[in-house]
Amino acid sequence: MPELPEVETVVRMLRPRLEGRMLTGVHVGPRRLRVPWQRRWNARLIGRRLAHVQRRGKWIVIDLALPESGDALLVHLGMTGRLILAEVGAPTAPHTHAVFHLDDGKQELRFLDPRRFGLIRYLAAPERARLQSTAALGPEPWQLTTANLAAQLARTRRCLKAVLLDQRVLAGVGNIYADEALFEARLHPGRIARTLARQEVERLRCAVVRVLERAIRKHGSTILTFYYGDDEHGEYQNEFRVYGRQDQPCRRCRTPIAATRLAGRSTHYCPQCQPLP
């Protein structure tokens, strides 16, 4: 499933191509996505200008301009979702579930999703405000302070891997970047979160940011299905330290990378660099 770096990559690709344009038509196919499309949303969207394309956690939020400011088009890529700009009349790819016609009549925004775990929907201003708040979705990694993270860790008996996957604690981090950040911080993913000392909390917070920033520079990770733009793929998978590298030598110490299952997810770590106290 695309995580923060992959979603940020899509947002940065779409932003200059969509902002300021108007939606002039909507066509949604019959196959249901995670949230069924409601026909009444069409009238809420047609004639609205796309004001700003941004990311919140793993969500893409496309702000709609006046008359009703605060409304948005909300997208989640699920496991295999894609947003592409296509020329009108270009062949429609299989698994295209929604098409949004743009003002020049020459291009349209298409949402594809073979596995249909993603969603695309209209979001009214009050619902959008809840999504933007940290009450429903945790802070962005760059907004997270050491004090806030320490407080979150101190109140739970869960392991570090489980805490990093909790979107109420930290928005946008998933399985890949949790493993990579814990390796960067030299912390065992199975360690109980409340046992971390203050300097270890700071180390973890900085590691999350560094890993995400490196991944964004590489346009995320393409393992199976993540593509953006015109079939472009990410490159950060070539730099993984632990994720998906079971039995391969650690890039630091040459110890074979170990794998286990934590919080219901496959988890990779170096037994030497990330000892369990």
pLDDT of residue 136: 78
Residue of 48, 55, 56, 58 marked catalytic: 58
pLDDT of residue 68: 64
Each domain of the chain, given as residue ranges in start order, spans 4-132, 146-269
Q: Which residues contact 191 (CB under 8 A, 6 or more apart)?
A: 159, 160, 276, 277
pTM for the full model? 0.94
pLDDT of residue 128: 82
Beta bridge partners of 257: none
265 as an active site residue: the answer is yes
Q: Give Cα 3 distance to the centre of its chain.
A: 3
17 as an active site residue: the answer is no
256 as an active site residue: the answer is no
Three-state helix/strand/coil letters over 98-153: EEEEECCCCEEEEEECCCCCCEEEEECHHHHHHHHCCCCCCCCCCCCCHHHHHHHH
State which fold the 146-269 domain adopts.
Answer: Helicase, Ruva Protein; domain 3 (1.10.8)
Residue of 2, 5, 141, 189 marked catalytic: 2
For the segment 100-158, what is each residue's pLDDT rounded down to a tens digit?
999 988 999 999 999 999 999 999 988 888 877 777 799 999 999 999 999 999 999 99
91 as an active site residue: the answer is no
What's the CATH superfamily of 4-132? MutM-like, N-terminal (3.20.190.10)
**Residues 237/240/244/250 CA torsion (nearest 10 deg):** 150
> For the chain, which residues score pLDDT lower than 50?
none
Residue of 21, 203, 214, 265 marked catalytic: 265
> Of all helices (H) and strands (E), which one includes residue 181?
helix 175-185
One-letter amino acid identity for 1? M
Sign for the CA dihedral angle at 85, 90, 92, 93 comes to negative
pLDDT of residue 131: 78
Q: What are the DSSP E strand ranges found in the chain?
A: 23-28, 50-56, 59-64, 72-76, 82-87, 96-102, 107-112, 119-123, 258-262, 265-269
